[in-house]
Amino acid sequence: MFDRLDANGDRRISLEEFCYAVPMIQKWGVNISDPETAFREIDTDGGGHVLFDEFCQWAALNNIDIEDDDDLKLSAEDLHRLQNSLYKTPRNFLINKGKYNDSKIINKNLSLNRLP
């Protein structure tokens, strides 16, 4: 979030950068009617730039939700399913493709949780 506003990458947000980013911030659910006043409120140390910690505190207080982070969220059930499929895929793939036809070899190696 912070990096999106810090256009020049100097690790602080200027008033100009903030004003330019107001439409993006509003997409995140924060209504800003007066950008200069909002900037001064965020710049708690009065240094003329919004620093990372000042921005984080303001973002948390305003419950900012960036529009494209929803695709990164997994339910606990989906995460569990994904973890299980990652652990089982190589073994199941090799067995299902018929690479190991001897059931003794398959059973032995599955119980040891490894393949020859």
**Residues 89, 90, 96, 101, CA torsion sign:** negative
State pLDDT tens for residues 9-32: 999 999 999 999 999 898 888 999
Buried b / exposed e across 5-16, counting CB within 10 Å, b at 16+? Answer: bbeeeeebbbee
CATH number listed for the domain at residues 2-61 = 1.10.238.10
Instruction: Give residue 103's pLDDT.
Output: 45
Q: What is the spatial distance between Cα 75 and Cα 55, in angstroms, rounded to a whole number?
A: 28
**Cβ contacts of 50 within 8 Å, gap of 6 or more:** 5, 12, 13, 18, 39, 42, 43, 58
Under the banding of pLDDT at 50, 70 and 90, the label for residue 113 is very low
**Whole-structure pTM over 0.75, yes or no?**
no
Q: Which residue has the higher pLDDT, 32 or 83?
A: 32
Domain with CATH 1.10.238.10 in the chain: 2-61
